[in-house]
Amino acid sequence: MKETTFKYRLEALGLRIAIAIVGSLSLDRASAIGGWLGRRIGPRLGITRRARRRIERAMPDLSEAEVTRIIAAMWENLGRVAFEYPHIDTFRKPEESHRIEVVGIEALRAHQAAGQGGLLLSGHFGNFELLPVAMNREGFKGGEVYRPANNPIVNQWMLDMRSGKTGAIQIPKGRKGTRDLLTILRDNGFVAMLFDQKMREGIEVTLFGIPSMTTPAPAGLAIRLGTALFPACIERLEGAYFRVTVYPQIEADPTADPISETIRLTQALNDFLEARIREKPENWFWLHNRWND
Residue extents of the structural domains in the chain:
2-283
**pLDDT score recorded for residue 4:** 65
The answer to whether residues 187 and 181 touch, using CB atoms and an 8 Å cutoff, is no
**pLDDT score recorded for residue 282:** 97
* φ and ψ at residue 46, rounded to 5 degrees: -60, -30
Task: State pLDDT tens for residues 71-96.
Answer: 999 999 999 999 999 999 899 899 99
Task: State pLDDT tens for residues 200-227.
Answer: 788 999 999 999 999 999 999 999 999 9
Integer-rounded Cα radius of gyration of the chain: 19
- What whole-number distance in Å separates Cα of residue 291 and Cα of residue 293? 6
100-103 vs 142-146, strand pairing mode: unpaired
Q: Is the dihedral of CA 46, 124, 171, 154 positive or negative?
A: positive
- What whole-number distance in Å separates Cα of residue 144 and Cα of residue 194? 9
CA 150 to chain centre: 19
Q: Is the dihedral of CA 71, 72, 75, 77 positive or negative?
A: negative
Per residue in 169-200, is it b (16+ CB within 10 Å) or e — as a string?
bbbbbeeebeebbeebbeeebbbbbbbbbeee
Residue 228's contacts (CB-CB under 8 Å, 6 or more residues apart) are 111, 116, 117, 118, 119, 222, 249, 251
* φ and ψ at residue 151, rounded to 5 degrees: -80, 110
C-alpha to C-alpha distances, 60 to 47, 54, 66, 161, 246, nearest whole angstrom: 20, 10, 11, 41, 29
Q: Where are the beta strands (DSSP E) in the chain?
A: 100-103, 118-122, 142-146, 169-172, 190-194, 203-207, 210-214, 228-238, 241-246
Model confidence at 2: pLDDT above 70: no
Model confidence at 3: pLDDT above 80: no
**pLDDT score recorded for residue 53:** 94
Angle between helices 27-41 and 64-84 (to 10 degrees): 140
Model confidence at 57: pLDDT above 90: yes
- What whole-number distance in Å separates Cα of residue 203 and Cα of residue 212? 8
